[in-house]
Structure formats: structure tokens, C-alpha cells
Amino acid sequence: MRLAVRRWPFADEAGGSANGERRTENESMARTAMIVKAERKPKFMTRAKNRCKVCGRARGFLRKFKLCRICFRQLSLGGYIPGVTKASW
């Protein structure tokens, strides 16, 4: 089975670590394995884990957009998500 890969404008930037370093091959393989595992139907529905469609991040997930907070911010500021504006008051 072949997986479709969706390329977003900031997908390459989303793959780094917290201090700006790039992931090693082992880390990227582990993340890829977790993404594939999350796409399978779990044995019990409580085991289902939401993951970002761009980078695969499991934490900070926004259900409405199916993105993590980091990718959501990058894509919304870039104007790729229609109807989303930066708040000002």
C-alpha cells in the first residue's frame, strides 16, 4: 500500500527540533512509523490519536483544522487557511 504525501509550503520547516536542529534519520523514521501507526484503525477507539496532517505532531492539535498549533500558525500567517486572521483588540 502506498501512502499519499501532501506537501505544504512549510512542511520542511516543521521537521526541526526545539532548538532549530534538523532531525536525524532515526528520529525521522520513528516519527514516520508513529504516523503510519496512527493512520491504522485502532483495536479500541480510545486508543485513537490525532496527529497533524503536515508534520505528524501529536500534541497541540486543533481538531477543526487537523493541524498542530505550530503548522496552523505558519499556514494562517502565510494566508494558506482562508478566513483566519490574526486577532487584534
Question: pLDDT digit string (tens) for 3-47?
Answer: 555 555 555 555 554 445 566 776 677 778 877 877 778 788 777
- Is the residue at 29 inside a domain? yes
- Is the residue at 32 inside a domain? yes
- Contact assessment for residue 61 and residue 68, using Cβ atoms and an 8 Å cutoff: yes
- Is the residue at 17 inside a domain? yes
- Is the residue at 49 inside a domain? yes
The CATH number for 26's domain is 4.10.830.10
- Is the residue at 1 inside a domain? no
Nearest to 52 by CA among 85, 3, 20, 15: 15
Instruction: Residue 57: give the domain boundaries.
Output: 13-77
- Is the residue at 87 inside a domain? no
Nearest to 51 by CA among 64, 38, 42: 38
- Is the residue at 38 inside a domain? yes
- Is the residue at 3 inside a domain? no
Q: Which pLDDT band, with edges at 50, 70 and 90, does 70 fall under?
A: very high
Tell me if the pTM is above 0.85: no
79: pLDDT strictly greater than 80: yes
83: pLDDT strictly greater than 60: yes
55: pLDDT strictly greater than 80: yes
